[in-house]
Structure 1
């Protein structure tokens, strides 16, 4: 098992290097081509955006802690911010007609749709996620999905 830990300031410029690094580690550990890991990278990026933007309110003095435990069969990620937290059940559903045109509010849905397990702590400032290698193998790679049609 491989353990990875980051403690970063709340800076959106760090999203790409961190998600690229984590995704690369998954690709290597699971012998996966990059196209198989795009959805995982997107979910990790969204979890980090939420921690930086909504949790820490883009305050660079507040930290985001990321851990990744990668085994042959699964990857476990934790993203924790220093914000006050929130109740995930209070988030308006993004598919509700009143929310369809809002510019945000889809991140939690995206994360839940990609990851096999998600759990917030009681305070709501730490998200734990699990992705199993077997479920990633069953997914259609994102670059092979059919184009969106109306």
Structure 2
């Protein structure tokens, strides 16, 4: 069974800040079984996805939407979508994997890829749509 917990659309970071407290309470209310550090990491993953949407996807006055659902009282499902052109997920993930797994050189995180790594680390599953302008974050909250 799917229950929609919240949906919020915003066009800039200031509007998102107004929505951020609602996101926090929404996640906190359904995540009683998650330790506080994991709850914090879920929120950081959401913020990284929203930041990526603003930085790479939306541009001026293009909305970003965050939707949060609870599936079967076990899984938190968060979707962040922008109206931008998207990006080639496969190319970036391939670059990320080759740099992370190559022990012969040290990868300099810089500005690119760090958010994807954080999302992958904090969540149980991360999925991108084919266009590359939406990310779905899934966390088992009944561990």
Give the shorter-chain TM-score range: 0.7 to 0.9
CA pair 18-101 structure 1, distance change in 2 beyond 3 A = same
What per-residue deviation string (whole Å, max 9, x for no partner) do you get for residues 20-45 of structure 1? Answer: 32122121123367544110000000
**1:77-116 aligned within 5 A:** 77-91=78-92, 92-93=95-96, 95=100, 97=105, 99-100=107-108, 102-116=110-124
What per-residue deviation string (whole Å, max 9, x for no partner) do you get for residues 99-127 of structure 1? Answer: 51523321111101111111111111111
* TM-score relative to the length of structure 1: 0.75
**Is residue 125 from structure 1 mapped to residue 133 from structure 2 by the alignment?**
yes
Segments of structure 2 that go 5 or more residues without pairing to the other structure are none
**1:16-55 aligned within 5 A:** 16-31=17-32, 34-55=36-57
* TM-score relative to the length of structure 2: 0.78
Segments of structure 1 that go 5 or more residues without pairing to the other structure are 136-150
Greater length-normalized contact order (CA 8 Å, ≥ 6 residues apart): 2
Equivalent pairs, count: 132
